[in-house]
Amino acid sequence: MTWEFGAADATALAGLVATGEVTPDELLDAALAAVEAHNGALNAVVLMQEGVARKAIAEGLPRGPFRGVPFLIKDLGIEAKDFPSHNGSRLLANTVYRGDSSIFKRIKATGVVTFGRTTAPEGGIGAATEAAVYGGPTRNPWNLDHTPGGSSGGAGAAVAAGIVSFAHGSDGGGSVRIPASSCGLFGFKPTRARLPDGPYAGEGWAGMAIDGFLTRSVRDTAVMLDACEGADLGAPYWAPPLARGHAAAISRPPRRLRIAVCDTTLTGDPIHPEVAAAVRSAAKLLESLGHVVEPAQPRADVLGMMRAWTDIVAVGTALGIRSALKGRPLTADLVEGVSRGACAHAETLHPTRYLEAVGEIHAFGRQMAAFFDQGPDILLTATLAEPPAKVGRFDHATEDYVAYRTGPEGIFAYSPFCAAFNASGQPAASLPLGCSADGLPIGIHLAAAFGQDETLISLCAELEQAAPWGALRAPMSQ
């Protein structure tokens, strides 16, 4: 073969299928071989359905932009009738769906060959992927002692290891961007409601959660977003319409932009020195491209937002778990510690607290909108406050859910940037522009004003061209 499966992005692989240089079956063979070679160490790919994939190929794949390219969906929150799911939980193991979600229908229409799912933490509430239902933690192909992030950690690990060229994820507090940062990939969170949630859900976490993709290239994300974007029937709200689309937007650089750079947390606390240095390096790169870069920090109640986020997610977690229990007791053999803690925290909240917390999230969104309205087009920060954490640091054993989220060693201290843009609904992305002295990826985070997805992804493509990352590969994938 004249192509190397683990090194190509999805667009390149689809081009090989289109010219007849390779068949969809051959690409699936390569993906399955990569699973066999790497998944024992990673524990990233689960619930494989090779028969479903072979049948889809035999019956004729849709002639979409990714026809014949192997694909994996996250084992959380994406209903697909041919793909049973554990949803990251022993309580929900082997769930079978009666139909496909709207987004999976759109994903299938691109012509991808879906053959399995990727691991996720229970409830999607962690920055690591170590759910008990999978028998052990998911590990990072850059260094197996470290986490690939969460909650789309299995997706990040699978793409970084070269098992697939791209994969589905979802992002309710950084769950696409954290794995992208941890695994040296590109991850983009669209504007709130840019992608469909239905028909089996109205919204995720009061509108803070949205689907997305882990990719090796900006172009793969752009094309997949265009294929999937738009409200589904009966959606409670939708994003502002796009002008040209993501793929058209990356065909040329954006206008010269005003970029605010913050090399601390959004509350002014210091971050890991190597990460801060990577932020400053990205700022210099943007300045060299002609953008106007100035230090700035949003005036927004970030800590209040995180308290509201914590309460909203606790209530959502409790609702899902109580429904699935069907009257059974909440026991450790069914539900992990952090999730039990989330249920306990939800029980302490006044019945009016959920709506109060949603109101606080909306107020925060207005504060962030005012910051962008008053000057910058883009806010540049790190994606994480430090390089990827070691496996076990964020496992779900503790029942102190609030400390797990907001304590001094908690998720918010580790990931103080991402959730802000789930709360505000703004588009945000993590780009693999940095590396630690130990050889671990460091993601750089860019966020734009609400609805300005095309400006943001165009800037991401300009940075990819200026500082190409396609050749940067995890040792396991080489």
**Residue 397: both structure tokens together:** 């054993």
**Residue 52: both structure tokens together:** 């479903």
Residue 404 — φ and ψ, nearest 5°? Answer: -60, -40
**Residue 90: both structure tokens together:** 């022993």
Other CB atoms within 10 A of residue 108 CB: 19
5-300+363-392+404-477: what fold? Amidase signature (AS) enzymes (3.90.1300)
Residue 209 — φ and ψ, nearest 5°? Answer: -100, 145
Q: What is residue 418's predicted lDDT score, i.e. its pLDDT?
A: 98
What string of pLDDT tens digits covers the 478 residues of the chain? 446 777 899 999 999 999 999 999 999 999 999 999 999 999 999 999 999 999 999 999 999 999 999 999 999 999 999 999 999 999 999 999 999 999 999 999 999 999 999 999 999 998 999 999 999 999 999 999 999 999 999 999 999 999 999 999 999 999 999 999 999 999 999 999 999 999 999 999 999 999 999 999 999 999 999 999 999 999 999 999 999 999 999 999 999 999 999 999 999 999 999 999 999 999 999 999 999 999 999 999 999 999 999 999 999 999 999 999 999 999 999 999 999 999 999 999 999 999 999 999 999 999 999 999 988 999 999 999 999 999 999 999 999 999 999 999 999 999 999 999 999 999 999 999 999 999 999 999 999 999 999 999 999 999 999 999 998 899 988 7
Is the torsion defined by CA of 372, 374, 376, 377 positive or negative? positive
Beta strands in 141-257 (DSSP E): 166-171, 186-189, 210-215
**Could you tell me if 196 and 227 are in contact, meaning their C-beta atoms sit under 8 angstroms apart?**
no
> Per 3-state DSSP, what percentage of the chain is helix, strand, and coil (rounded to 5)?
40, 15, 45
**Could you tell me if 156 and 401 are in contact, meaning their C-beta atoms sit under 8 angstroms apart?**
no
Q: What is residue 1's predicted lDDT score, i.e. its pLDDT?
A: 43
Q: Smallest Cα–Cα separation from 44: which of 132, 148, 180?
A: 148
pTM over 0.95: yes
Catalytic hit among 151, 170, 424, 477: 151
Q: Smallest Cα–Cα separation from 186: which of 213, 168, 209, 164?
A: 213
The ranges assigned to domains in the chain are: 5-300+363-392+404-477, 303-355
Q: 175 an active-site residue?
A: yes
Q: 74 an active-site residue?
A: yes
Q: How far is CA 143 from the centre of its chain?
A: 20
**Residue 348: both structure tokens together:** 């302490």
Q: What is the DSSP string of 9-48?
A: -HHHHHHHHHHTSS-HHHHHHHHHHHHHHHHHHH--EES-
Catalytic hit among 74, 165, 181, 182: 74
d(CA 149, CA 384): 10
Q: Smallest Cα–Cα separation from 313: which of 135, 124, 185, 102?
A: 124
CB-based contacts of 20, cutoff 8 Å, min separation 6: none
Catalytic hit among 175, 181, 339, 458: 175
Would you mind telling me the total number of residues written for the chain in this entry? 478
d(CA 478, CA 463): 24
